């Protein structure tokens, strides 16, 4: 749902290419990563939610639950929308997916979404 709301379209062929590259990387480094990284369900989640890395939604769901004033779905849409806007503005050359570290809590519009009221 988030992908449909935030992006006009997503190139599914490119998404499959990126997810396959992550899978290959995760396979090579499986001993250093969490067991979940190599699971088929993680790949499915990544494919379904691309360009969002699977950890993005997991972290947002678990961490924002502690914010009393945070509206779950609407808040996540705004937070991710602001993250996408910032990324579009800065165009990080090495970003093939949107990761947790791309959500910059120091960026004013993102900070406003997460501050306590």
Kindly report the pTM of this predicted structure.
0.86
Going from N- to C-terminal start, the domains of the chain cover 2-114
3-state secondary structure the chain: CHHHHHCCCCCHHHHHHHHHHHHHHHHHCHHHCCHHHHCHHHHHHHHHHCCECHHHHHHHHHHHCCCCCCCHHHHHHHHHHHHHHHHHHHCCCCCCCECHHHCCCCCHHHHHHHCCC
**pLDDT value at position 115?**
74
**pLDDT value at position 57?**
85
pLDDT in tens, the chain (117 residues): 788 899 999 999 999 999 999 999 999 999 999 988 889 999 999 999 999 999 998 888 887 766 666 677 788 888 999 999 999 999 999 899 999 999 999 999 999 887 754
């Amino acid at each position: 749902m988030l992908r449909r709301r935030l992006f006009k379209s997503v190139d599914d062929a490119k998404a499959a290419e990126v997810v396959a590259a992550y899978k290959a990387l995760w396979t090579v480094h499986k001993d250093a990563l969490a067991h979940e990284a190599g699971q088929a369900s993680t790949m499915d989640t990544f494919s379904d939610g691309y360009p969002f890395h699977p950890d993005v939604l997991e972290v947002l769901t678990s961490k924002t639950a502690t914010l009393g004033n945070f509206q779950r779905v609407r808040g996540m849409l705004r937070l991710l929308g602001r993250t996408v806007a910032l990324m579009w503005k800065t165009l990080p050359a090495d970003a093939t997916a949107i990761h947790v570290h791309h959500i910059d809590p120091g960026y004013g519009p993102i900070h406003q979404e997460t501050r306590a009221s």
